[in-house]
Amino acid sequence: MIPLPTGLRARLVITFTLVAVTASSLVATIGFELAKTALITRAENTSLDLVTRELSSITFPIGALQAGEAEPTTRELENVARTLAGPGRGVLVEYGSLIATEGPMTMSDVPNELYGRAKQSIVTQRRVIRNELWLIVGAEVYRDTANGTPEATGLRAFVFFPMRDDERQLATLRTTLTQAGVVILLIALVVALLSARQVLLPVRRLSAAAQALGQGRLDTRLPVHGQDELAELTARFNDAAAALELSVSELRSMEAMARRFVADVSHELRTPLTAMTAVADMLSEEANRLPEAPAEAVRLVLHEIERLRELVEHLIEISRFDAGTATLNLEPANVADAIQDCLEVRGWSEQVKVSASQGLTANLDPRRFDVIVANLIGNALKHGRPPVVVSARSTENGLEVKVRDHGKGIPREALPHVFDRFFKAGAGRARSQGSGLGLAIARANVHLHGGTISVRTQNPGTLFTVWLPHS
């Protein structure tokens, strides 16, 4: 099955060409039929005039013979036949049992219908005889009686006029019309292509301008030419682009202000947090000596201070990525040692199983790699179940690190959002420990390395996969 064209250019060209071909075919068909009718009518009129004129000139007695008149002889009938004959024509003259012929025709070539109608008037009929078209004129000779009324004489003449010349003219006309149709088709195709190009040029400009807008060039505008529908559409596009540029500028300005606000607030909170942390350390030493209720309140305050400190650190880190000031300091590092150091610093060595070759090295930023691994393992320990397994291996074009837990897993509907900022899967985790920024920061550090990070469910548990390219 041939696929239908879907492009506007192809549809315009096909439609224009079909209209032109249909119109030219209709005109050619009507012209050919009119010419054919005119040729046949002319041939019939000429033939009828010839037969009528020659038959009216018969002088020998025929029909109701009067006293002293003898029936026509074969010679007289042959003379009539010779008179009616001509180049290529055939003649049959019948009078009673006498038949005179000129040419190869016989009475079997005369159609029965024509033979019967010839008794009443002069008639014509076209017929193919021996693979050739002939116009047959049949007529019976009438003679005026004594009282002036016409009377059939019984003498009939059938003249066969060849139509090869008319057929040749029609064939020539058909060939000429076909050639003209091909020329018209080619002209229509060229005109259609030029017209489609002229019509679609503004559309292409609009498409290119829309693509430029999509790529962020919001100052894209198009010149407006004319006052047609396309000019109006171009003007509307320019208006929409201007409105979009203004809206995006306002949004970018507001976003920049929000980022500055978050960064400024985070930095301003660092000083009081430092003091609060120092006080908290003193309170933690005295908590065990306090009564149960005050001790529980102190522990709660300490826990929330730690959450606030973690949140502020994460906000500061996120603000660096948003501002584009985060830098990457690559250096060769032993991957297994980097993972072990991450676990030992946080006291997770006994809770996590590591599978990595001691000789595995990669060119990466150790501090940011530590952040990536710590956030993934910390997430697995907080929300999953043991065993938590960390594996690292070298692939053909990079380093692959996997972190898997064996908990109940993340709901499928939450998987596309786990790396979103402040996203926590499930209502029960809304007040869980953590800022909701850990995975977002891990993804930002992975992307800074030029790598990828993904998550998928296991049976049981969840698997995070990090890929960092060879630098």
Domain ranges of the chain: 8-61+72-170, 230-322, 328-469
Cα–Cα distance measured from residue 354 to residue 289, given in angstroms and rounded to the nearest whole number? 40
Higher per-residue confidence, 360 vs 306: 360
Instruction: Tell me how many degrees the CA angle 399-400-403 measures, rounded to the nearest 5.
Output: 140
Residue 78 clears pLDDT 50, i.e. is over it? yes
Residue 2: pLDDT band with limits 50, 70, 90: low
Average pLDDT over residues 191-203: 79
Average pLDDT over residues 311-329: 74
Higher per-residue confidence, 63 vs 354: 354
Q: What is the pLDDT of residues 447-457, one digit of tens each?
A: 988 999 999 98
Phi, psi of 365 (to 5 degrees): -90, 110
CA atoms within 13 A on the CB side of 271: 4
Residue 96 clears pLDDT 80, i.e. is over it? yes
Average pLDDT over residues 77-95: 89
* H, E, C per residue of 362-376: EEECHHHHHHHHHHH
Question: What is the structure's pLDDT at 264?
Answer: 67
Question: What is the structure's pLDDT at 256?
Answer: 72
CB atoms within 10 A of CB 241: 20
Question: What is the structure's pLDDT at 258?
Answer: 66
Higher per-residue confidence, 10 vs 158: 158
Residue 239 clears pLDDT 60, i.e. is over it? yes
Q: Is the dihedral of CA 198, 204, 205, 206 positive or negative?
A: positive
Residue 466: pLDDT band with limits 50, 70, 90: very high
Fold of 230-322: Helix Hairpins (1.10.287)
Whether the bond between 111 and the residue before it is cis, its omega within 30 degrees of 0, is no
Question: What is the structure's pLDDT at 270?
Answer: 67
Residue 45: pLDDT band with limits 50, 70, 90: very high
DSSP for residue 399: E
Quick one: what percent of the chain has pLDDT higher than 70?
88
- Candidate from 37-51, 228-242, 251-265, 404-418 with smallest mean pLDDT: 251-265
CA atoms within 13 A on the CB side of 135: 20
Question: What is the structure's pLDDT at 430?
Answer: 45
8-61+72-170 placed in CATH 3.40.50: no
Cα–Cα distance measured from residue 295 to residue 118, given in angstroms and rounded to the nearest whole number? 136
Letter for the amino acid at 65?
L
Letter for the amino acid at 238?
N
- Candidate from 4-13, 85-94, 187-196, 410-419 with smallest mean pLDDT: 4-13
Average pLDDT over residues 87-101: 89
Average pLDDT over residues 336-361: 89
Letter for the amino acid at 402?
K
Residue 432 clears pLDDT 60, i.e. is over it? no
Residue 425: pLDDT band with limits 50, 70, 90: low
Fold of 328-469: Heat Shock Protein 90 (3.30.565)
Write down the mean pLDDT value for the chain. Answer: 83
Question: What is the structure's pLDDT at 428?
Answer: 47
Cα–Cα distance measured from residue 121 to residue 134, given in angstroms and rounded to the nearest whole number? 20
- Candidate from 15-19, 99-103, 109-113 with smallest mean pLDDT: 15-19
Distances (CA, A) of 231 to 150, 192, 207, 242, 286: 82, 21, 14, 17, 80
Quick one: what percent of the chain has pLDDT higher than 90?
16
270 with 264: CB under 8 angstroms?
no
Q: What is the pLDDT of residues 354-405, one digit of tens each?
A: 888 888 888 899 998 998 999 899 888 888 888 899 999 988 888 999 999 9
Cα–Cα distance measured from residue 308 to residue 111, given in angstroms and rounded to the nearest whole number? 115
Residue 322 clears pLDDT 80, i.e. is over it? no
Average pLDDT over residues 21-25: 85
Residues 6+ apart with CB under 8 A from 89: 102, 103, 159, 160, 161, 162
Q: What is the DSSP string of 228-280?
A: SHHHHHHHHHHHHHHHHHHHHHHHHHHHHHHHHHHHHHHHHHHHHHHHHHHHH
Cα–Cα distance measured from residue 401 to residue 338, given in angstroms and rounded to the nearest whole number? 12
Residue 427 clears pLDDT 50, i.e. is over it? no
367 with 448: CB under 8 angstroms?
no
Q: What is the pLDDT of residues 262-295, one digit of tens each?
A: 666 666 666 776 777 777 777 776 667 777 777 7
Q: What is the pLDDT of residues 309-318, one digit of tens each?
A: 777 777 777 7
